[in-house]
Amino acid sequence: MATFTCIVCPKGCRLHIDEKMAVTGNNCERGAVYAVKELSNPTRVTTSTVRIRGAAFARLPVKTDRDIPKNAVREAVRLLDKVSVDAPVKCGDIILPDILGTGANFVATRTLPRLGA
């Protein structure tokens, strides 16, 4: 039996899942789907920032455009240390494609115009 908190919505139900993948404690079906996935193939949408030149801020917020394997999150974020972009950037622009061969991209989550433009 494994026990953890559902992170699908703010309610945060306490989920229990047994060795036959039977889920209890969930208040909706999404929690059951999450529990099975969390045990068999945990994934996360991942957020971070990258350096940006020529904008009003020094860092540009980014996130993955889909879930990536949970065990790849740390390495994926480390890749961003080597990334630097130039303004202007539009929200949704791809900043780093095909992260670690997952098919997911890091995309900008904010539009930052070029300073003085």
Residues that bind ligand SF4 (CB under 6 A): 6, 8-9, 11-13, 26-28, 30-31
Q: Which residue has the CB atom at the shortest distance from ligand SF4?
A: 31
Q: How many CB atoms lie within 10 A of CB 112?
A: 21
Smallest gap from residue 30 Cβ to ligand SF4 (A): 4
* Distances from the Cα of 75 to the Cα of 42, 66, 68, angstroms: 16, 16, 11
Q: CB 21 → ligand SF4: shortest distance, Å?
A: 15
Cβ atoms of 68 and 104 closer than 8 Å: yes
CB of 34 to ligand SF4, least distance (A): 6
